[in-house]
Amino acid sequence: MQYLKYSRSWAPMTENQFCWTILDQSCGTTIAMAAWLNSFVLSGAMYHCGLLLVLLDLSLDVVGSVSQLEIDRHLELGREFLVNGQLQDALSHYHAAVEGDPNNYLTYYKRGAVYLALGKAKFTILDLDKVLELKPDFTSARLQRGTVLLKQAQFDKAEADFRDVLAVEPHNTDALNALYKIAPTQEDLLMVDRLMRDGDYVAAAQQISRIIEVCPWSAELRERRAECYEAFEDYVSAISDVRSTTKLQSDNTQGFFKLANLHYRVGQVEESLKEIRECLKLDPEHSKCFAFYKKVKEVAKLLTNAEESKNSSDYDKCIDPAQRVLKLEPNVANVQFIAHQLLCKCYTSKSEVSQALKSCQEALKIRKEAAVYCDRAEAYLAAEMFDDAIRDFKEALEIDMSLQRARQGLLKAQQRQKLSESRDYYKILGVPRTASKRDIIKAYRKAAQKWHPDNFQEGEEKKRAEKRFIDIAAAKEVLTDDEKRAKFDQGEDPLDPESGKHQQGFNPFQEFHHFHGSPFQFKFHFN
């Protein structure tokens, strides 16, 4: 045999000589030679040959095309996977069958059915085009292509296919029904043009929705409806339509760019970042997507840092990134809203009431949300502006009657207002509501020394000092006891006889251990 002659002449060759000889002689080798090559490779003689893959490809060329048996096997597996709903696996086997026999119209037709099931209308059309090129009289394929074209709103092409079907089968019900839909749908589309020109976007969106019932795979129609939704600020619906276009059209960078912008406009910064990254996956050099990506990434990072700092009670670190967001984004109101709300909460927690109220007010100018009314109410409470706090908690409940935070806040504000008409232990000691126990004791000692009755002459001054001294001692008792302080902060005076919850036997002078006789006739020492 011829390959034995080659094997003898190649025996003394170097590896490189061997490889290049194979390339030179490949056109003349036989199937037997391919088998010899396989045995030669297995023996290890070609282990380091850099052209091994090329040789294997050549050996396949020598063998010839895939056998009909293998094609049939791919078709059978494709059918089984399709029946079981394993569409990607079915598609792989139909690909192999098409490659094995590129002139079999039925194989293209079956693969087109899988593409259709996957919602890949573009590839479905390409396969049906090939089917009709190979077999122009295949009526089922022509009807199927017309149906897909109609769903894509390609009316002229769809009409041509349906008329061709009816020329062969005049009573084909599917073709007749589809054909009858085309003219009215085209008229509806002209109506959409007029409505949009007139600025009636609500009616235009409703009209497009009727057309989409006939043409659900039209990316253009969904883009136009999204434009209408944007015009009357229904951004959620606009996002839904634009997302559909990214599925209907492959490599839709413009769709992802639009989607990212819409999410950003409604204040969904993380979602915006996710969509703009999808644009850059398709085209890393897309100038608009890259510029927008840099901005959104920075805003997302700042908002995340502010939120994490707020949650960890590091309010200074919360305030700085939130303020930077406002400088970075001066135009998009819903992004500014997030920053203002963070500032409202963090300034309130820092007892910087004026700044807190200003930030809350700015947030409410953008969106009147129940949570923000509660935030502002908390700031009013910190400023002891009880009427304003009560009003804001009620506003929150108007928006959301089930909001527990607003219910509890309203009760607290009302109780605090009632307390303000009697004794406020924080005011008595001159400390803020956020004062530590150490600061409270320090303030108590200072006030007690100042208002001790022994420091005053008999008469009205002494009586006023006695009353003030009792209040100071009561304030110290309540504010240095965690349980009593918590009750007071909730609007209940634990020493109020009417509450029934105060401790009996309270002695304002029990702190002093150096007096004799009358409680007002002593001097004491403060540590």
The whole-number pLDDT of residue 457 equals 81
Predicted pLDDT at 423:
76
Stretch 26-43: mean pLDDT, rounded? 37
pLDDT tens, position by position, 404-423: 999 999 999 998 888 776 67
Asked if 68-187 and 426-490 have one fold, the answer is no
DSSP state string for 221-244? HHHHHHHHHHHTT-HHHHHHHHHH
Residue 21: CB atoms within 10 A of its CB come to: 14
* Mean pLDDT of the region 350-359: 91
* DSSP string covering 93-142: HHHHHHHH-TT-HHHHHHHHHHHHHTT-HHHHHHHHHHHHHH-TT-HHHH
**Cα gap 426→499, rounded to integer Å:** 19
Domain boundaries, the chain: 68-187, 426-490
> pLDDT class for 65, splitting at 50, 70, 90?
low
Residues 206-234, mean pLDDT to the nearest whole number? 96
Residue, of 514 and 416, whose pLDDT is higher: 416
pLDDT at 421: 65
Q: Is 264 helix (H, G, I), strand (E, B) or coil?
A: helix
CA distance 515 to 513: 6
Identify which has the larger pLDDT, 200 or 12. 200
pLDDT of residue 43: 40
Q: How far apart are CA 306 and CA 285, in angstroms?
A: 31
| pLDDT for 490 | 82
- Look at 138-147, 458-467, 477-486 and tell me which has the smallest mean pLDDT: 458-467
- Residue 171 CA: distances (Å) to CA of 137, 176, 177, 246, 261: 17, 7, 10, 38, 50
Structure tokens at 323: 């303020």
Over residues 288-292, the mean pLDDT reads 97
More confident residue, 228 or 36: 228
Question: What does the alpha-carbon distance between residue 174 and residue 265 come to, in Å, rounded to a whole number?
Answer: 44
Contact 298, 325 (CB under 8 A): no
Per-residue pLDDT for 6 more than 60?
Answer: no
468 and 451 Cβ atoms separated by less than 8 Å? yes
Residue type, 390: I
Per-residue pLDDT, averaged over 200-221, amounts to 96
Give whichever of 28-32, 358-362, 502-506 has the largest mean pLDDT: 358-362
CB 132 within 8 A of CB 148: no
pLDDT in tens, 258-280: 999 999 999 999 999 999 999 99
Please state, rounded to an integer, the average pLDDT across all residues of the chain.
83
CA geometry: angle at 269 spanning 263 and 273, to 5°?
85
Q: How many residues does the chain have?
A: 527
Q: From residue 14, how far is each of 17, 45, 488 by CA, in Å? A: 5, 10, 96
Q: What is the pLDDT of residue 498?
A: 61
Q: How far apart are the first and last CA of the chain?
A: 116
Q: Is the dihedral of CA 99, 101, 103, 105 positive or negative?
A: negative
Residue 225, pLDDT above cutoff 60: yes
Please give the pLDDT value at position 217: 95
Nearest to 72 by CA among 103, 92, 97: 97
pLDDT tens track for 304-348: 999 999 999 999 899 999 999 999 999 999 999 999 999 999 999
The reported pLDDT for the residue numbered 7 is 36
pLDDT at residue number 422: 67
User: Considering the domain 68-187, what is its CATH architecture?
Assistant: Alpha Horseshoe (1.25)
CB distance 304 to 277 below 8 Å? no
How is residue 369 annotated by DSSP? -
Which range has the worst mean pLDDT, 52-66, 101-115, 298-312?
52-66
pLDDT in tens, 408-467: 999 999 988 887 766 788 888 888 888 899 999 999 999 889 888 888 888 767 777 888
Residues 395, 396, 402, CA angle at the centre, nearest 5°? 130
Q: CA–CA separation, 461 vs 484, rounded Å?
A: 31
Class of the CATH-defined domain 426-490: mainly alpha
Indicate whether 88 pLDDT > 50. yes
What distances in angstroms separate CA 2 from CA 12, 57, 336, one per listed residue? 18, 21, 82
Which position has the token pair 């990607």? 88
